[in-house]
Amino acid sequence: MDKKRIYLSSPTMHGEEQEFIKEAFDTNWVAPLGPNVNAFEEEMAAYTGCGHAAALSAGTAAIHLSLKLLDVQQGDMVFVSDLTFSASCNPIVYEKATPVFIDAEPDTWNMSPEALRKAFELFPHPKAVICVHLYGTPAKLSEIMAICAEHNVPLIEDAAESLGSTYQGKHTGTFGVYGIYSFNGNKIITTSGGGMLVSADEEAVRRATFLATQARDPARHYQHSQIGYNYRMSNITAGIGRGQLLHIGEHKALKNGIYKQYKEAFADIEEITMNPLNPDGDANNWLSCMTIGEGCPVTPDDIMDALAAENIESRPIWKPMHLQPVFEQYDFLAHRADGSSVGADIFERGLCLPSDIKNTPEDMELIIRTVRKCFGRA
């Protein structure tokens, strides 16, 4: 195809990344760990105010270690957001625990406090709650935290998509007992692949680091008293992250501008609604999303096909976990009294729009024009 490729959300490099990588090569710190890892952890802790951080190979690894730190075991229950990517809940199954999926609510598309209350009524003693901040929009943390506190159950924040987002002036990922971030290639900043576990509990983060480094005992020889994991971030990867972190404010501002442009461009099309934002938060708008009104003959597939014909990448909304074949045997708690799923409705009527911060004005004009044509608007 001769047409320029417009991506959903691709990495944006600036140059400082290469400087940190070059330093690692020049000092021969190309093996795992090294000065960039330590510095990236310190810089992330300073940026988010999380307290302490462990740089890991993936956000999934951070969720897994969070569950290990909370001693989640076979037979335990963990409540988790239903409208999310599978990495939010796969680690629950790694430990042979049982996920219970909590529906989204329409105000932010995040975990429904109403559905969470229903879950506690049915299953009073879960080991943890994992709340996702979907597409960079903060969840209703005050309500969710109050429910968790009432039942004395720890909260893990899956802030993989929401680095840079704040709720009531505080960074997402810093409210729960543990928070996790992802630096996958399409995130607001990237290390090509990687993640981070954060917490105010210094000893817990120290233990996470120990487990992530194959749980090697402090002996001269290689001795292991428990099972560990190869989950630590490399010094090269951390160098990329350090360079990226210098530009997170710029990236967030550009993402916010993309969301605003879409919202204004589609304001006259009553069938289009942009993904809602939490008025108590400041979203990073990692991905801008839209839903189509009920009964409208235009479908998300129609729009994605029209964009694809212009060589423009888009994506469906995450398919809720309770609809995934691999999780169909687990319980699901709906937001609505009639038992229908808010998340399923968003999935069926929604899509993620191109949100690449390198999009030119001409790129945005083409995307918007293509979407508008689907609704018969010039």
Residues 161 and 132: their CA atoms lie apart, in Å, by 8
Domains (range + CATH), the chain: 16-245 (3.40.640.10), 248-374 (3.90.1150.10)
The 10s digit of each residue's pLDDT in 227-284 is 999 999 999 999 999 999 999 999 999 999 999 999 999 999 999 999 999 999 999 9
* Whether pTM exceeds 0.85: yes
Residues 378 and 370: their CA atoms lie apart, in Å, by 9
Q: Within a 10 A sphere around the Cβ of 49, how many other Cβ atoms?
A: 13
pLDDT band at 178 (very low <50, low <70, confident <90, very high): very high
Residues 63 and 220: their CA atoms lie apart, in Å, by 31
* Average pLDDT score over the chain: 97
The 10s digit of each residue's pLDDT in 185-242 is 999 999 999 999 999 999 999 999 999 999 999 999 999 999 999 999 999 999 999 9
pLDDT above 70 covers what percent of the chain?
100
pLDDT score recorded for residue 33: 83
Q: Within a 10 A sphere around the Cβ of 308, how many other Cβ atoms?
A: 14
- Helix segments in 3-131, DSSP class H: 16-26, 35-48, 59-69, 90-94, 113-122
Q: Within a 10 A sphere around the Cβ of 182, how many other Cβ atoms?
A: 30
pLDDT score recorded for residue 378: 74
pLDDT score recorded for residue 50: 98
The 10s digit of each residue's pLDDT in 124-157 is 999 999 999 999 999 999 999 999 999 999 999 9
pLDDT score recorded for residue 58: 97
